[in-house]
Amino acid sequence: MILGIGVDVVDVARFEASLARTPGLHTRLFADAERELPLESLAARFAAKEAFIKAMGGSQNFGWHDMVVPASNGAAPHFELSGAAATHAEGRGVTDVHLSISHDGGQAVAFVIAEGA
């Protein structure tokens, strides 16, 4: 059963400007496993985290590092949830989180489906 859905779109150039303008934002938003990825991939991961928050009905004090989307190396993208994000998902009965991300033409998009029994 679908317990929540979320979608988010990020303008890559605007996201790049935000990273350049705000020292420390890169470290605050992304875990070590994400930081070395190219800009378009980072924008897609930011969109994924925002889409996850929407699918969960709000952030519930999630930390950005509680929702990691590691490099997939050709496999389907996925979340590694921890901390408040994992606790909240478990409390809502979420047993699986489906993630689709893409970037093209200066835009990054993510779609999340939270599924449970």
User: What CA–CA distance (Å, rounded) separates 23 from 19?
Assistant: 7
Q: Count Cβ atoms within 10 A of the Cβ of residue 24 and give its class: 0-12 exposed, 13-18 middle, 19 or more buried.
A: exposed
Domain ranges of the chain: 2-116
Joined tokens for residue 92: 């809502």
Mean pLDDT of 17-42: 95
Residue 34 has pLDDT above 80, yes or no: yes
Cα(6)–Cα(3) distance, integer angstroms? 11
Instruction: Give the model's pLDDT for residue 26.
Output: 95
Average pLDDT over residues 104-113: 97
Residue 9 DSSP SS3: strand
For the chain, give the percent of residues with pLDDT over 90: 89
CATH number listed for the domain at residues 2-116: 3.90.470.20
CB contact burial 57-91 (16+ within 10 A = b; e otherwise) = eebeebebbbbbbbeeeeeebebebeeebbebbee
Q: Average model confidence (pLDDT) for the chain?
A: 95
